[in-house]
Structure formats: structure tokens, C-alpha cells
Amino acid sequence: MSQDPASRAEPGGEGASLAALLQRLDTLRRVVLRRAELNAADMRLLWLLSDGRARTFREISEDLALEQSTVNRQVNGAARTQLVQIAEGHPARQVRATDEGVAAYRSDVDRILASYGDALERMGPARTAELTDLLAEFIDAYQHVVRPEDTP
């Protein structure tokens, strides 16, 4: 019988227990993403562009905290599959989601959110609210530690 990773995390204390739980969550998130039409890179790009505003390669790089070469590769791949279109602009090329890209993105997001909703429903409304509040509080605290320059 396999031991729960959180219980094996004793030497690192609470941080290690949290890391083990986040790893389990990430594994499950990957299972859900493998069932999606879009890959993770296309999903991230279309999430950014889903507001309808065109962006330059540089803006995408900054907004997604990705290297310029990674953005070039991902945007060009998404353009080859007609998820985005690249227009020559002045002074820089602009990237915009296509109707097909937005439709695929919304379809995948609907399925992903439904899986979250089903899990939260199993927990019940009170526990769901508690989880959401605690997670938001943790993320705020973690941001102060990891990126203090981004926090008020």
C-alpha cells in the first residue's frame, strides 16, 4: 500500500506537506489538461488574448513572464494551427486570437471549470467558501515572500 505523500513530508514540516499536496493537485491538473483540445501553451496564450485586445510579442512575453524566444515559438505554433493571427503592425507585429481559437479556448475552459465545480460541490458550500478564503490568503502571503516588489 502506497503511503500518502503528505505524511512522508515530515522532515520538511508544514512547507513540505503543502508542497506534497500542491504536487498532487498539479498531477490532477495535468490529467485534466491532457483531455483538453488545446495544449497548455495554447491555453495560456488564448487566456491572455481572450479579452479581445491584440498584443505585441513583447507584451505577451511580459504578461506571461516568458522568454521572448518561447513566445515566438508558441505564437508561431498557434498561428500555424489558426488559433491566433499575426498582423504586421507599426511599430511591431500584433497577435490576436481567431474566432476558432476563442471557441476552442472557451470549450476547454468550460470543461476544466466544470471539473473544479464538481469537486467543490462534493465538498459543500461552507467548505468551498473556507477553501477559497484560505487559498486566497495563502497566495497573498506567498506573494509577499516570493515577489515582495509586487505587493503593496
Tell me the domain boundaries of the chain. Answer: 1-35, 36-150
* CATH number for domain 36-150, candidates 1.10.260.40, 3.20.20.140, 1.10.10.10, 3.90.1300.10: 1.10.10.10
The predicted-structure confidence for 85-131, as pLDDT tens digits, reads as follows: 999 877 889 999 999 999 999 999 999 999 999 999 999 999 999 99
Q: Rounded to two decimals, what is the model's pTM?
A: 0.74
Q: Which residues does 96 contact at the CB level (< 8 Å), separation at least 6?
A: 49, 52, 54, 84, 85, 87
- 8 Å CB contact between 90 and 56: no
> Does pLDDT of 7 surpass 90?
no
Phi, psi of 87, deg, nearest 5: -115, 140
- If you ran DSSP here, which 8-state letter would residue 92 be given? S
Q: What is the pLDDT of residues 48-87, one digit of tens each?
A: 999 999 999 999 999 999 999 999 999 999 999 999 999 9
Cα–Cα distance, 98 to 84 (Å, whole number): 5
Task: Of 15, 14, 18, give the one whose Cα is nearest residue 26.
Answer: 18
Please, what's the b/e burial string for 76-93 (b: 16 or more CB within 10 A of its CB; e: otherwise)?
Answer: eebeeeebbeeeeeeeee
Give CA–CA dist 81/31, Å, rounded. 23
